[in-house]
Amino acid sequence: MTYSSKGIAVVTGAAGGMGSHIARRLHADGHRVLLTDIAVDAADAVARDLSPDGSTARAVELDVAHRENFVTTLADCEQVWGTPTILVNNAAVTQAADLMTLGEDDFNRVLTTNVDSVFFGCQVIGAAMAAQGYGRIVNMASLAGQNGGTATGAHYATSKGGILTVTKIFARELAGHGVTVNSIAPGPHDLPIVKATVPPDRLDAVIAGIPVGRMGDPSFVADMVALLTADNAHFVTGACWDVNGGLYVR
């Protein structure tokens, strides 16, 4: 089965930050975009900016911590537009914490939310993509999952390392069904969440420690998503694309 580049994209955590940049880029490329977020009013504001009549961009509430919510979102998408051709697992809980005093509840909340969301997104929507014989999945990992983290907590770094493994698992499982699964691992980017997580008195030191001397541009990450979700991206799967200003070189 052959699909045109004008597909149906589901973006989690699309109400703001990196997710909104990704949703806007995919919409600009001609895809219909379902913007999902627990903050549905903010996601709806972005969707209405992109498509006032809701014909090419819509928002739905999605708490990514639970598998059944992905089942509901998939059904909503199929009812309105059809089976997704693109899934971007972007939603995550970001939280700084002291390693040696990090409590069990905080650890489990961040780890399970961040990893479960990617796992069940790939499982539920990936299965629907496999059934139609085509799909592109991009999971947002992080530099923290590669180097153990610096400004973020151990639970966040652990979860992002798990996402890298989940990406490989589903890439192998879905490759024969026309579905690619890749991840992107950003370092510090010029986003509100970075400035909210890193105290102002530490942010300058963080930037000074980046070899290129500045934070990343989230619009470039959106460009990377566009490349990985293109029709001709069939030969890239199970990969992790780094964008970290030289903080992690391999």
DSSP string, 226-248: HHHTSTT-TT--S-EEEESTTSS
Q: Which of 123, 183, 191, 122 is nearest to 152 (CA)?
A: 191
Please state, for a pLDDT cut of 70, what percent of the chain lies above it. Answer: 98
**Spatial distance between the Cα atoms of 22 and 33, rounded to a whole number of angstroms:** 10
Task: Give the catalytic positions in this structure.
Answer: 156
* Torsion angles phi and psi, residue 188, rounded to 5: -65, 125
pLDDT recorded at residue 1: 39
**Spatial distance between the Cα atoms of 57 and 73, rounded to a whole number of angstroms:** 14
First-to-last C-alpha distance (Å) of the chain: 37
| 128-152 average pLDDT score | 93
Single-letter amino acid, residue 114: N
Examine the pLDDT at 153 and tell me if it is beyond 70: yes
pLDDT recorded at residue 3: 43
DSSP string, 89-155: E---------GGG--HHHHHHHHHHHHHHHHHHHHHHHHHHHHHT-EEEEEE--THHHH--SSS-HH
**Spatial distance between the Cα atoms of 197 and 69, rounded to a whole number of angstroms:** 28
Q: Please write the tens of the pLDDT for every residue from 166-191.
A: 999 999 999 999 999 999 999 999 98
| 197-212 average pLDDT score | 87
Tokens for 12, please give them. 């989690």
pLDDT recorded at residue 2: 42
pLDDT recorded at residue 192: 83
DSSP string, 156-191: HHHHHHHHHHHHHHHHHHHGGGTEEEEEEEE-SBSS
- List the chain domain ranges: 8-243
Question: Which residues, in sequence order, are bridge partners of residue 184?
Answer: 140, 241
Within its chain, how far is the Cα of 249 from the centroid?
22
**Spatial distance between the Cα atoms of 128 and 131, rounded to a whole number of angstroms:** 5
pLDDT recorded at residue 4: 46
| 50-71 average pLDDT score | 98
**Spatial distance between the Cα atoms of 44 and 58, rounded to a whole number of angstroms:** 7
Q: Please write the tens of the pLDDT for every residue from 88-110.
A: 999 999 888 888 899 999 999 99
Examine the pLDDT at 241 and tell me if it is beyond 90: yes
| 24-37 average pLDDT score | 98
pLDDT recorded at residue 214: 95
**Spatial distance between the Cα atoms of 63 and 61, rounded to a whole number of angstroms:** 7
Pick the CATH number of 8-243 from 3.90.180.10, 3.30.1490.190, 3.30.565.10, 3.40.50.720: 3.40.50.720
